[in-house]
Amino acid sequence: MRKWMQTMSLRLNGANELLVGVLMGLLVLDVWAGVLDRYLIHWQLNWVEELARYIMIWAIMLAVPCAACSRAHIGLDLLTRKLPLAGQRLCLFVADLAMLLFFLYIAYAGVNFTAKGLAQLSTVFSTPMAFPYAAIPVAFSLAALQTFVLMIAGTAPVADEGGN
C-alpha cells in the first residue's frame, strides 16, 4: 500500500512537473512576444501582460505541490534538530498536519472563490475570471494530496535537506 502510494505520488508529480515546465516555457515566450512587439513589430498586442500574469499564477501555483513533494518549503529547524528522533518525528508530523489542513482549507475555499469568478470577466480577454482563479483550488488540492502521501508513506525526518 505504502509502495503503491509512493509510486502514484511520483507519477502524479511527474505529470504535474511536465505541466509546470510547459507553462513556464509559454510564459517566457509570451513575455518575449511582448518585448518584440513593443520594440520591433508594434502590433500593439494588448493581451501579453494579462496572459503573462495568469500563466504565471498557474505555473507557479502548480509548482507548490511539486515543492511540497520534495520538501522544498522549508522552516526553521534550529530547535527540532536538537531533539531526539521521536521528538523530531512528532514535530514533523504536527508541522505536516498544519500544512495539510492549510492546503485543504484553501482548496475548499478556493472552489467557492472560483465559482464567484464565473460571473466576473477579465479586462482584456473578457473571459470569466474563474479560469485564472481555478489555479488556487487545483494547485492546493494537489498540494494537500502530496502532503498526505508524504505523511503516510515517507515518515523519516529530513534533517540535512538545507539549501535547495
Rounded Cα distance, 13 and 145, in Å: 11
Q: Within 93-122, which residues bind another protein (CB under 8 A)? A: 94-95, 98-99, 101-102, 105-106, 109-110, 112-113
CA separation, residue 91 to residues 15, 82, 158 (Å)? 31, 12, 12
Helix 48-69 with 135-153: angle, nearest 10 deg: 10
- Residue 84, interface with another protein (CB under 8 A)? no
Report how far apart the first and last C-alpha atoms of the chain are (Å, whole number). 30
Alpha helices in the chain (DSSP H): 2-36, 48-69, 85-117, 130-133, 135-153
- Residue 74, interface with another protein (CB under 8 A)? yes
Q: Within 23-52, which residues bind another protein (CB under 8 A)? A: 23-25, 27-28, 31-32, 34-35, 38, 49, 52
- Residue 78, interface with another protein (CB under 8 A)? yes
Binding site for another protein (CB under 8 A): 17, 20-21, 23-25, 27-28, 31-32, 34-35, 38, 49, 52-53, 56-57, 59-64, 66-67, 70, 72-80, 91-92, 94-95, 98-99, 101-102, 105-106, 109-110, 112-113, 132-133, 135-137, 160, 162-164
